[in-house]
Amino acid sequence: MANQSSFTEYPASIIYHENTIYSLERNESLLVKQLVVKGDVSGFMGQVSPDHAQITCELTSENAAALRQRLPWLKTVPLGLKTSAGMGDRLGLATPGHVAAVRGTGIAPIFAQQSVRENVRTGRKPQEVMDDAMWGVFQAGWQDPWGADADHLKLPEYLDEFTAAGYTFFTVDPGDHVDQAADDADLAALRVSAENLPWDQLKTSAGDMVKAFTGQSFPMEGISLEFDEETVLRAAVKYGRAVAHAHRMYRRLLEIHGNRPFDFEVSVDETATPTSIPEHFYIAHELKRLGVQWVSLAPRYVGRFEKGVDYIGDLGELDRTMGLHAAIMRYFGSYKLSLHSGSDKFSVYAIAAKHARGLVHLKTAGTSYLEALRVIASADSELFMKIYEFARDRYETDRASYHVSAELEKTPVHPAIAELPALLDQFDARQVLHVTFGSVLDHFRKDLYQVLKAHEEDYYRVLEKHFRSHLDPLAPKKHMSMEII
């Protein structure tokens, strides 16, 4: 660790706790941060002063673990049914900006959020994502509860590593087990398919399931649901295996966690067709019957929730159906509606706030990366142009695993320098830059990080402004006042 340069202390990080002072500071020439502990220095690894009253530490995982033991608010906790927002940070630099945005909103934040797919593309591990977020929380002086989301988990073998890293929120994605063919199957075909469902895992039978849903009505706000045989079979054939997989994942988490609580989310949003109102009811009904306790559910809403851009579709139809999804949520009374690919959906937030009445979880991912590119576009136009041209070359390959509709021919080929920041507001260019993040990091990681570290305060300001526009419409005070009105 170099010591020849001046260091700047982050004021919000200075904590006096149990006769020891903790703070974070930055080497202004190397742009490297370090932890300083004055008092009881035991348990930390670093350069100890001659009198053993102070230690200067690199931001290693070992020192992060030691600091969490000293300052308990740096440990993540389950957030339950509070209005919440997940703020994916693909670079590990954004948390202070996220803290600035969420402060005072009443929204419970998830500062560490990453999927296995994102970790592979960014070259990061669950523990690294957790530690990066924790250092940001410490730097910004956040002492309220916060969570960490192991996002879009598809297989049980992923659960142990995220649990060991301290994650408290587990988003299970059983999308691979959803049978899209059920949408168009006739009753005879549905009966045949239903016989092949894993009834031993679902702990019922086809006949008993049909009896449980038919011949009665389920009254709720604005609707009374009634199932005929075809409706319940269609829901079961489409989502039965997904329910069984979610239950399997939940049971495995119970085994791993023992008595330690955790938040469990079920996500079926990454499917080709919307989750109908009867299908949502079926999923919730069966999860509850199987004893699953979940805090949020992400159905596939009507329209398109594409990456990095506003909602595409009929807002009136979204308003109507989201009201019905919320009615089902309140019928079961134990979870929140989750908005996946929720970043930049500015036309949706007021609708969600109106219907969910605080029982909502917003999940964002790549928008913090895009705002990082906005900073680079202003601070280093030459680097941004290289990234932009590279992203255009990679788009057709990297878009394969995403639901996006950007057309490469609609993106400017040779934009002027003055136009570069505006590319982050252009639909097609924004999506092109969004889905190519992994390839960009493979080629430009060092230069990209160098610029962002040199302009970190600019990055925090951009993030605060950007996320405020996401969070303010969902803030608890806002929807409480809506209820009063």
Q: Residue 82 gets which letter from DSSP?
A: S
Block residue for tokens 């910004």: 140
Q: Which residues of 408-447 are buried (b: 16+ CB within 10 A; e: fewer)?
A: eeebeeebeeeebbebbebbbbbbbbbbbbbbbbeebeee
- For 218, counting Cβ atoms within 10 Å of its Cβ (0-12 exposed, 13-18 middle, 19+ buried), the class is middle
Q: CA 380, CA 332: separation in Å to the nearest integer?
A: 52
Does the active-site annotation cover 265?
yes
Neighbours of 288 (CB within 10 A): 15
Block residue for tokens 């389950």: 78
Structural tokens at position 65: 């673990």
Structural tokens at position 140: 């910004």
Does the active-site annotation cover 58?
no
Block residue for tokens 């495995």: 252
**C-beta of residue 248 within 8 angstroms of C-beta of residue 241:** no
| C-alpha torsion sign, points 201, 205, 206, 208 | negative
Q: CA 363, CA 157: separation in Å to the nearest integer?
A: 23
Helices (H) and strands (E) in the chain, counts: 18, 16
Residues paired with 108 in a beta bridge: 84
| Residue among 89, 151, 279, 306 flagged as catalytic | 151
Helix (H) / strand (E) containing 115: strand 108-115
Which alpha helices (H) appear in 196-295, and where do they start and end?
199-202, 206-213, 229-257, 277-289
**C-beta of residue 53 within 8 angstroms of C-beta of residue 39:** yes
Q: Is 306 helix (H, G, I), strand (E, B) or coil?
A: coil
Structural tokens at position 351: 């609708």
Block residue for tokens 């069966």: 286
- For 29, counting Cβ atoms within 10 Å of its Cβ (0-12 exposed, 13-18 middle, 19+ buried), the class is exposed
| Residue among 265, 269, 286, 398 flagged as catalytic | 265
What is the bridge-based pairing of β-strands 217-220 and 84-87?
unpaired
Sequence-distant (6+) residues with CB within 8 A of 457 are: none
Structural tokens at position 79: 């957030």
**C-beta of residue 187 within 8 angstroms of C-beta of residue 230:** yes
Reported residue count of the chain is 485
Sequence-distant (6+) residues with CB within 8 A of 51 are: none
Residues classed as catalytic: 151, 265
